[in-house]
Amino acid sequence: MAKKWGHFVRSWMTKNMELPQDVMMDLPRITMIGQIHIYIENHRGLLAFSDKELRLLLKQGQLLIKGKAFVIKTILPEEILLEGKIDSVTYITDND
């Protein structure tokens, strides 16, 4: 009950006070440059990494990126810069 209420307050604040949503609600901010770069902030860790696939843990759910020739250019606790040829970015949420 309390958690839900907190969530409600936050979404109300972002709506009415024009605060950035990624900060307020711990959502990932994804910046893509064409197909070659993808920059994800606010992730919660690496789940799987291979040439063709990157799976990231988010606060809610996971993010699946598919493509070719992946190289992690930089990885920091909450940020990741991926390089390669990106085909798809998919959100995977359990409670759908």
By CB under 8 A, the residues from 34 to 63 that bind other proteins are 45-51
Question: By CB neighbour count within 10 A (0-12 exposed, 13-18 middle, 19+ buried), where does 67 fall?
Answer: buried
Question: Which one, 32 or 75, has the nearer CB to other proteins?
Answer: 75
Residue pair 35/58 in contact (Cβ under 8 Å)? The answer is: no
Residues near other proteins (CB under 8 A), total:
16
**Is residue 32 within the footprint of other proteins (CB under 8 A)?**
no
**Is residue 68 within the footprint of other proteins (CB under 8 A)?**
no
The Cβ-side half-sphere exposure at 50, using a 13 Å CA radius, reads: 5
> Residues in the site for other proteins, rule: CB under 8 A?
45-51, 70-77, 81
